[in-house]
Amino acid sequence: MLRLIATRLVIAIPTLFAVITLTFIMIRLAPGSPFDGERPLDAPTRAALDAAYGINRPLLVQFGDYLSHIARFDFGPSMVYRDFSVTQLVVQGLPVSLTLGGVALLLASMAGIASAVVATRWSGGWPDAALGALATILTALPSFVSAPLLVLLFALTLGWLPVGGWGGVDHIVLPGVALALPVAGAIHKLLRAALADQMRGDNIRTARARGLTPFTIITRHALRPALIPVASYLAPAAAGLLTGAVVIETIFALPGLGRYFVQGALNRDYPLVMAVVILYAALIILFNLLADLAYGWLDPRIRG
């Protein structure tokens, strides 16, 4: 276990450095400037702004300064939100995105696992076919399509839930469900296929010979090792959900990190975009490590 963690950390450092380097170069080489607006600035003002934010210096010098700052967890000032630092913006938006992503991940996992177990219990029957078709639809249906449909039905027509905004628990239901639906469909398909393979194993035949019920066989003997491909899928999916879905946050007017990222990308807010990318990369590395640790728990044979 400790060796696995140490190995992953050794790999994570150069991986994160590569992400930072490539993102830094790509952002700086992109056309446009943070100070381009509807009214062009005069040359002295533009030069003063470039000097104030250090973007008039050589690229290598800028990169070295940036590395020294992020080593101290200082992501610099925002070039668009002039009254805030990037760290302040991340602190404001990240809890909203984490809450939304966590709720979506929980809902998707519960729905996907439960539906796959039900489909396996009635393998070949109409529940299996119906749930499989529904999972295919959910996987193919983007969140930006399902979200307006949910708003139309549950908010505008029935009036059960608010249209958008951030406040009570009811404000997170619709965006959480919209974000969870495609992930739930993918979990169902992965787990259903893995359970089908597990149900052909020798241990399952032994369990049947002992007279165990089908539901007990699935949940006690087949489900745990079948969750391994689901764990592999959830590692990057969880990172994407927890860092906030840009479209969902925009549709429901949520003050999450995704909206800041979009505004930063559109307005060439270099420090803000860099901070979000670094955070996203770090979360992917973290969740991949957790997935590797989960493999040994789901199937002890992998430890050897």
Least confident of 66-75, 170-179, 186-195, 241-250: 241-250
Residue with tokens 């003050």: 255
What pTM value is reported for the model? Answer: 0.79
Neighbour-count burial of 97, counting CB atoms closer than 10 A to its CB (0-12 exposed, 13-18 middle, 19+ buried)? buried
Convert the pLDDT of each residue in 85-129 to its tens digit: 888 888 888 888 888 888 998 999 999 999 999 999 998 889 999
d(CA 215, CA 236): 30
243, pLDDT greater than 90: no
How much is the average pLDDT of 283-304?
A: 68
Q: Which amino acid is at 154?
A: F
DSSP 3-state assignment of 85? Answer: strand
157, pLDDT greater than 60: yes
Average pLDDT over the chain, rounded to whole?
A: 82
Task: Give, in order, the Cα–Cα distances in Å from 238 to each of 46, 59, 258, 268, 293.
Answer: 41, 34, 15, 27, 15
Give the residues across from 77 on adjacent strands.
85
Quick one: pLDDT at residue 51? 76
Q: Is 209 or 7 the better-scoring residue by pLDDT? A: 209
Residues near 46 by beta carbon (within 8 Å), at least 6 away in sequence: 35
Convert the pLDDT of each residue in 12-62 to its tens digit: 888 888 988 998 888 877 766 666 655 666 677 767 777 777 777 788 888
* pLDDT bracket for residue 177 (50, 70, 90): very high
CATH number at 92-257? 1.10.3720.10
Q: Any idea where the domains of the chain sit in the sequence?
A: 92-257
How much is the average pLDDT of 215-239?
A: 83
Q: How far is CA 32 from the centre of its chain?
A: 29
Residues near 172 by beta carbon (within 8 Å), at least 6 away in sequence: 99, 100, 103
210, pLDDT greater than 70: yes
* pLDDT bracket for residue 302 (50, 70, 90): low
Quick one: pLDDT at residue 108? 92
Least confident of 129-133, 157-161, 196-200, 293-297: 293-297
Sign of CA dihedral 248, 253, 254, 258: positive
Q: Is 5 or 209 the better-scoring residue by pLDDT? A: 209
